[in-house]
Amino acid sequence: MTQEGDPLDAIIRARVRGLRLARGWSLDALAARCQLSASTLSRIETGHRRISIDQLVPIARALGTSLDQLVEPAGSDDVVIRPRRDLGRDAVTWMLTRGDEPHGLAVAKMRLLRTQPRREQRVHPGYEWFTVLSGTVRLQLGERVILVEAGQAAQFSTMSPHAITAHGGPADVIVIFDRDGRRAHLDAIDLGAPAEPDGRVDGEVEGEVDGGQER
């Protein structure tokens, strides 16, 4: 018979099994890594054995996680994110992730309004990716100019000089920044500041290109 327990107990069992399967490991493979028997692990996963801390510690270590993460209660926060529209100097931004994401990645929808090429290109640590939802994006990578059209995606190291603007009219993109990219392109932008008279501004999105046209 299975052990009766609180909901957290079931969550822990599901996490152990889920992490094991995600790594493509059999019960025997995990057992060899945490020095427990495969039958013990099977009973833990199915609820036929009570879970003890002295068992969870080696299991968590073998699965590449921590005991804290394994026993953390399921979050009760609203899973739906309601993006706020931030009108910037050359783009409208809707953040699609919360600001405290543990993995450090930030996802945003951006409507690029600036159509003039930038004279200056940025360089900073990190890696970025974007896909174009509508319109055409001009991606400047040093001396290269690449046009990325709707349905295409781009990815690149931000240690390369780079800049992104719309081409021929506004363009909508989904962009993923790592922590460094977010700091450079989102946190540093004064989203309430007006555009300069000649349209020059500092904010942008940024890209190796999947199907882009080089110009």
Q: pLDDT, tens digit, for every residue of 89-121?
A: 788 888 888 765 656 678 889 999 999 988 889
**Averaged pLDDT of the chain:** 80
Question: Where are the domain boundaries for CATH 2.60.120.10 in the chain?
Answer: 85-214
Superfamily of domain 85-214: Jelly Rolls (2.60.120.10)
Query: What's the CA gap between 59 and 31, in Å, rounded?
Result: 8
pLDDT band at 212 (very low <50, low <70, confident <90, very high): low
Q: Is the confidence at residue 211, as pLDDT, over 70?
A: no
CATH superfamily of this structure's domain 7-71: lambda repressor-like DNA-binding domains (1.10.260.40)
| Chain region(s) in the chain for CATH 1.10.260.40 | 7-71
- Is the pLDDT assigned to residue 143 strictly greater than 50? yes
98-132 burial code (b ≥16 CB/10 A, e <16): eeeeeeeebbbbbbbbbbeebeebbeeebbbbbbb
Rounded CA separation 94/174 (Å): 10
Q: Which among 8, 28, 22, 26 has a CA at the least distance from the CA of 70?
A: 8
Whether the Cβ atoms of residue 184 and residue 158 lie closer than 8 Å to each other: yes
pTM of the model: 0.57
pLDDT at 6: 65
Percent of the chain with pLDDT over 70: 76
